[in-house]
Amino acid sequence: MRPRAPRRGRGSLGSGPLGSGPLSPGSRPSGARTGGWWGLVFVAPQTLLFIAFFLIPVVIAFALAFMEVRPTRMTWIGLENFETVLHDDLFRRALVNTTVFTAVVVTFWLAKAVLIAYLLDPMSHALQTFFKSAFYLPAVTSGVIISLVWLWIYHPNFGLLNGLMVFLGRDPVAWLGNTSTALPALMAMQVIMGGGSSIVLLSAALARIPRDLYEVAIIDGAKRPTIFAKVILPLIRPTLLYLVVTGTINTFQVFEAVYVMTQGGPQFATTTVVFRIYQEAFQRFDLGVASAQAIVLFVITVALAAIQFRVLGQNVEY
Amino acid sequence: MRRSVLWILATLFATSSIALAQPQIELTWWINPWRIVTPNLAEGQSPTGEEYAQYMSEQFMALHPNVTVSYELVPNAGFGEKVTTAIFAGNPPDVLKDLDWNPDWAREGLLEPIDPYLTDADRADFLDYALAKGEIDGQHYIWPWNNSNNGMGSTMLLNTALFEEAGVELPALPDRSWTIDEFMAAAEALTMDRDGDGTTDVYALTFAARDTENMLAWLFRFGGRLMNEDGTEFVLNSPEGVRALQFIVDLIYEHGYAPTGGEALDVYGTIENLHNARAAMGYGGIYEIGRIDRYLNEGRMPDPINVAIAPFPHDPTAGPVAYETSGGFLVFKQDDDYRREMAMELARFLTEKDNIKLLESLLYITARRSANAELTFTNVAEYTDDVPTEVAVYQAAIDHGIPYFGPSDLDISAAMEHFTAAMEAALSRSKTPQHALDDFVAAANAAVFGR
């Protein structure tokens, strides 16, 4: 029996960041085979946790979406839960709210992160470290704490923002009580407090751009805006793609701020999809409908990610 | 000598037989934190909420050495989520405080009826409505414990210093009942611009859209009700209901007796305004007087205030109305007869007269008549002029209690988010009271009754 040649494809040893250099065919040391087993041993705990606490619950959620779930029994009801979801005005409202929230937050969040990373790029290492740490700070603070602080900022009677309004001679506003300001207020909070990790990643992406390219562009007579639009943006596109995809997925699942600050109000103006799922599952105890809503959310986020990959997913090499 | 030895052996045998007849069991008991002062708490020590569960478990275990009570303190926030998850996982506790309970649990056969364990003395001693709260399809499922709540939706707290400053007399004793007209005259005087700069420094009261109990209390002033008597339809958009909501909106926007921005507030917004003397009237009963003491100790309010309790004002044609509610303990289904018996025994133990009286330290009225006759509430004396008077006023107010949320065996949780939305709409004037209540009634009837 002929020994099997090692499989060499894209992403095989040598091409990844952990690769130790090219290997000629047949030169793979025998220890590599046992190394494969060791690799399995090392990834096993994470894989088991992933299976137990993610994969199995997801599979169960898929199953529950087709059932009427009561504490003492589960009955197969086909697509009935999905019909309920599609006819639920509040779920449709939640979808619209979440889409608007995601579009605005991800756009402004990324714009803020790109701008700040761009401004940090020429600074000294020490200054960059200071600012990156400062911008990253909210990311290590509990979302509930941040929401409580902003709840006070937006308070209609004692709030910091209304204090400022009165100081400027304007009438106080019930920021979280008004249907036209509640969602923008949450979005503003998210944009201001978010983006720390994006700034760190974009700074790294900017630092990787070869300086020769800037020099060539300057020699060719390009001004700063042109260099930014024609050189920098295309070269950080892979990082941007990653941030857009992960940012969209994360923002589409917004819950904490809504739960703490508005409970979906006023008049459902801030009801989001995940908050609706929470209400259905834990306030109305209807796990079937909640699972159907979760699947709708899953399909939407996968579709959005696919679209983003298609639009932005272009290999960049330099 | 030999006879003595035989006696000892016989006694030991009998004791061990009894012990063998009573197997070692473990009961789980879930309760949210109740800051009850237990008899073993050191003088001056403030309860954290865990002492009660620990103390009662130990007391019960001392009486029943073969039973281990494993209590679990479940925070208020997330209580319903945890219980629901446990039920769906097939692992609910044996005994549960009935916070966020769902009548469907009884219908699904998840709960044990308590009727076989209720004595005639219990039935006579428990307040009728407290017992009736747990009645589903003719059987009872809740061991009544606390009567009424913190007073929200039942009574108001009046800041006596601000009443004096405004030259307004407190409503007359013995029950301090007052009419809407008397209330309006007081509210006008209590709305004060002290420095004459055109800005109101003290409002008469606060409305908060997300404060369901107190908003319903106001909406019931002119005879409006959330549901019809049969509990088969939401009817809050009746002329009486609409009139009451218009009254609230006028108090804010036409008279300026209450601050704007109520659409963004919950009950804590009303408490905050009372504690900071930005409003002369707040909500709640004896328990809420205790909150003043707690918040002062925690540095959450600047200065102490002195308060008096009064019922919500009433319209002479509709009469006084207060919020009738109670709570207690549920026993989940048991496969084993002995476990069932001991779980029931634990629930009974928690609710018997001497133990139920521990609620006094928390400033709650109990669900037992015999215990209520002995309550004194002396520990709130610092913040009110005469404790027995306030207790009498509070008890007189809740004598007019009605269930605000329809029949206890009907789950209306799907409707109440639409209620909050209607209050937000009315208080922000994005809808007229009629429009807001019409929308609420339509959405609530669709959500609960499918029509």
List pLDDT tens digits, range B377-422: 776 778 888 888 888 899 899 889 898 998 877 888 889 989 999 9
Does A179 contact chain B (CB < 8 Å)?
yes
Does A264 contact chain B (CB < 8 Å)?
yes
As for the ipTM of the complex, it is: 0.72
Residue with more model confidence, B291 or A158? B291
- Helix A196-208, helix A237-252: angle, nearest 10: 170
Domains and CATH numbers, chain B: 25-148+325-375 (3.40.190.10), 155-323+402-449 (3.40.190.10)
Set of chain A residues whose Cβ sits within 8 Å of the Cβ of B269 = 157
Q: Are residues A265 and A128 in the same domain?
A: yes
Across chain B, mean pLDDT equals: 90
- Interchain contact, B420 vs A265, CB within 8 Å: yes
Domain range for residue A222? 89-312
pLDDT value of residue A315: 58
List pLDDT tens digits, range A146-173: 999 999 999 887 789 999 998 898 888 8
- Interchain contact, B105 vs A71, CB within 8 Å: yes
Note the helical H segments in B75-201: 79-88, 104-107, 120-125, 128-132, 160-166, 180-190
CATH number of the domain that A200 lies in?
1.10.3720.10
List pLDDT tens digits, range A106-150: 999 999 999 999 999 888 889 988 988 888 888 888 888 999 999
Q: Are residues A55 and A145 in the same domain?
A: no
Alpha-carbon gap: B275 to the closest alpha carbon of chain A (Å): 13
pLDDT value of residue A24: 46
Within a domain: A47: yes
Within a domain: A178: yes
Q: Are residues A159 and A284 in the same domain?
A: yes
55-74 in chain A: CB under 8 A from chain B: 69-72
**B415 contact partners, CB below 8 Å, separation of at least 6:** B234, B440, B443, B444, B447, B448
pLDDT value of residue A22: 40
Q: Are residues A126 and A64 in the same domain?
A: no
Q: How many independent structural domains does chain A possess?
A: 2
Q: Any idea which of A299-313, B1-15, B47-61, B109-123 has the lowest mean pLDDT?
A: B1-15
Within a domain: A9: no
Q: Are residues A212 and A259 in the same domain?
A: yes
Backbone angles phi, psi at B143, to 5 degrees: -80, 110
Does A167 contact chain B (CB < 8 Å)?
no
**Could you say which of A155, A158, A177 has the minimum Cβ distance to residue B428?**
A177
Q: Which two tokens stand for residue B430?
A: 């994005």
pLDDT value of residue A314: 61
Cα separation of A250 and A198, whole Å?
A: 13
Within a domain: A109: yes
> CB–CB of B168/B373 below 8 Å?
no
Given 3-state DSSP classes, what are the helix, strand and coil percentages for chain A, each rounded to the nearest 5?
70, 5, 30
Set of chain A residues whose Cβ sits within 8 Å of the Cβ of B108 = 70-72
pLDDT value of residue A33: 56
Classify A76 as helix, strand or coil. Answer: strand
Q: Are residues A65 and A136 in the same domain?
A: no
List pLDDT tens digits, range A202-241: 999 999 888 888 888 888 888 888 998 888 988 998 899 8
Within a domain: A17: no
List pLDDT tens digits, range B119-144: 999 999 998 888 988 999 899 999 99
Within a domain: A24: no
Q: Does the pLDDT at position A13 exceed 70?
A: no
Residue with more model confidence, A110 or A18? A110
Within a domain: A116: yes
Q: Any idea which of B238-252, B270-284, B392-406 has the lowest mean pLDDT?
A: B392-406
Report the chain B residue with the minimal C-alpha distance to residue A278.
B81
- Helix A125-136, helix A196-208: angle, nearest 10: 150
- Interchain contact, B84 vs A282, CB within 8 Å: yes
Given 3-state DSSP classes, what are the helix, strand and coil percentages for chain B, each rounded to the nearest 5?
45, 15, 40
> CB–CB of B287/B359 below 8 Å?
no
Indicate the pLDDT class of residue B338, thresholds 50, 70 and 90.
very high
Does B273 contact chain A (CB < 8 Å)?
yes
Q: Are residues A124 and A222 in the same domain?
A: yes
Does B201 contact chain A (CB < 8 Å)?
no
Q: Are residues A95 and A158 in the same domain?
A: yes
Residue in B74, B85, B260 to test binding to A, most A beta-carbons within 10 Å: B260
pLDDT value of residue B147: 84
Q: Are residues A75 and A215 in the same domain?
A: no
Set of chain B residues whose Cβ sits within 8 Å of the Cβ of A277 = none
Cα separation of B244 and B222, whole Å?
A: 6
Q: Are residues A168 and A194 in the same domain?
A: yes
Backbone angles phi, psi at B125, to 5 degrees: -85, -35
- Interchain contact, A177 vs B263, CB within 8 Å: yes
Set of chain B residues whose Cβ sits within 8 Å of the Cβ of A268 = 417, 421
List pLDDT tens digits, range A252-296: 999 999 999 999 989 999 999 999 999 998 888 889 999 999 999
Alpha-carbon gap: A263 to the closest alpha carbon of chain B (Å): 9
- A31: buried, middle or exposed (CB in 10 Å: 19+, 13-18, 0-12)? exposed
Within a domain: A195: yes
Across chain A, mean pLDDT equals: 84
To the nearest whole percent, how much of chain B has pLDDT over 90?
Answer: 66
Q: Does the pLDDT at position B184 exceed 70?
A: yes
pLDDT value of residue B80: 85
Classify B144 as helix, strand or coil. Answer: strand
